[in-house]
Amino acid sequence: MQVFNTFFKIAKKQLPVTLMYIGIFVGLCIMMGNTARTDKDYYNFKACDLVVIDRDNSEMSAMLMKYLAGIHEVDTESDYRDEQIQDYLYYQKIDYVLYIEQDYAKTGTLTNVKRPDSKVGEYIDNQILVYESNMRALTHAGYSLEEAYALTLMASSADGLVTLMDKEDTWPPIYNALSFAPYVLIMVMFYVLAPVLAAFNHKEISKRLNVSPITSRSKNVQIVFGQIIMSIFIWIVFLAFIYLYYGIENVDGKLPFILLNSMAMIIIAASMAGIAGNLRLKGDILNIIANIIGLAMCFLGGVFVQVKFMGSTMLQVARFMPTYWYIRANEKIFSGDNTNEILLCIGVELLFALVFFMVSTVVSKQMRAASKS
């Protein structure tokens, strides 16, 4: 077991990096899972800090102030000097200053002070423009000022219902985190496992192993066994993070399938990392390859962009990605679909893993042959 022990001596040096990458990517996974979907069924306008100075004191100016106060934090009492306004805008204590000029009821004249190129300023400008357009259209149509104001408030409501007509709404938050697992596992395995394998395939070390009394078969078995142990460790740590954060009360009888699906994904990730390690990729090259493969598989496989939003051509391409079958299995697990369909998806994932493992074996033999020559 000399090679096996050496494998974990090298892996032990990678332990701080391993835990760091697991922490980073699991944190990213949880963050993306939390923002991917929300259980709210409404939206709100963003409330900003406004100062409104009414120089008209008419019914129309009072309505405009009331409208803005229904959306934002409006200060109408303070008597700011110009220097104070500039300071407060600069230090972002206020976002916008609106002057309702004299004879606003007749001329509609408004002036404002805002930070240059301020998106908040454009946001408030647009709200005022919509309000005034609605009021003008309604009063010209014959409505009284009070009726026009009431209708404008209804049309420009500061909140509204959002209904997602999709049964995904009923899925627990843990589904979202598990949906991003392929990206996490692929990246972690590339950054952690591939460098260990690359060390064994270093030209000088490979030559020393070839002249040692350890047979090639024994060496390969011990390395594969080391890969299995490391993969199981990363898989357990990843799931522990997820389940400690979300809990397992919402998965009920789905847990065995979740474990099988995520295990299939970690095997795929380990097999791909094995190819990179046998190619002796390391450093910046390994980082570039890991990002290209990880992002491509996740974008095309439905991790970042749901499959239902893809066109027919992209869908055909997605079927050649193992991540597509992982996501499909994950959806079927949480939607309670037929067990045979779930197992079929996991089976396809394992076929991908077998192909990647065979490619890794061929690459390893070719690299050893090149080292001997």
Q: What is the pLDDT of residue 352?
A: 94
Q: How far apart are the first and last CA of the chain?
A: 28
Q: Which residues pair with 99 in a beta bridge?
A: 53, 111
Q: How many CA atoms lie within 13 A of 75 on its CB side?
A: 14
Asked if residues 37 and 168 have their Cβ atoms less than 8 Å apart, the reply is: yes
d(CA 168, CA 17): 36
What letter would DSSP give residue 75?
E
Q: Is the pTM of this model over 0.95?
A: no
Q: Long-range CB contacts (< 8 A, 24+ apart) of 340-345?
A: 342/257, 342/261, 345/261
Look-up: residue for tokens 């974990």? 8
What radius of gyration do the chain's Cα atoms show?
Answer: 30
pLDDT attached to residue 45 = 59
Among the residue ranges 29-38, 162-171, 280-289, the one predicted with the least confidence is 162-171
What are residue 75's phi and psi, to 5 degrees?
Answer: -105, 115
Model pLDDT for residues 232-273, shown as the tens digit of each residue? 888 888 888 877 877 765 666 788 888 899 999 999 999 998
How far is it, in rounded angstroms, from Cα 197 to Cα 176?
Answer: 32
> Residue 326: what pLDDT?
93
Most confident of 28-37, 108-117, 247-256: 108-117
| pLDDT score, position 310 | 79
Query: Which range among 34-43, 114-123, 288-297, 319-328 shows the weakest confidence by mean pLDDT?
Result: 34-43
For residue 266, the model assigns a pLDDT of 92
The pLDDT confidence band at residue 119, using thresholds 50, 70 and 90, is confident
Q: Do 182 and 8 form a contact (C-beta atoms < 8 A)?
A: no
Q: Are strands 96-100 and 110-113 parallel, antiparallel or unpaired?
A: antiparallel
**What's the pLDDT score for residue 43?**
47
Q: What is the mean pLDDT of residues 62-77?
A: 86
φ and ψ at residue 72, rounded to 5 degrees? -115, 170
Using pLDDT thresholds of 50, 70 and 90, give the confidence band for residue 209.
low
Q: Which domains, ranges and CATH numbers included, belong to the chain?
A: 2-39+167-372 (no CATH), 43-161 (3.40.190)
To the nearest whole number, what is the mean pLDDT of the chain? 80
Spatial separation of the C-alpha atoms in residues 46 and 120, rounded to whole Å: 9
Examine the pLDDT at 168 and tell me if it is beyond 50. no
Q: Which amino acid is at 349?
A: E
Nearest by Cα to 318 from 331, 303, 305, 302: 302
Quick one: which of 303, 304, 341 has its CA closest to 322? 303
**What gap in Å lies between CA 109 and CA 51, rounded to an integer?**
17
Helix ranges, the chain (H): 2-13, 15-36, 59-69, 82-90, 104-107, 119-140, 145-155, 173-179, 181-200, 203-210, 216-246, 255-278, 283-300, 312-318, 322-335, 339-372
Determine the pLDDT at residue 350: 94
Banded model confidence at residue 347, pLDDT cuts 50, 70, 90: very high
Nearest-angstrom CA–CA distance, 93 and 121: 14
pLDDT score recorded for residue 38: 47
Using pLDDT thresholds of 50, 70 and 90, give the confidence band for residue 29: low
Under the banding of pLDDT at 50, 70 and 90, the label for residue 81 is confident
Give the three-state DSSP class for 51.
strand
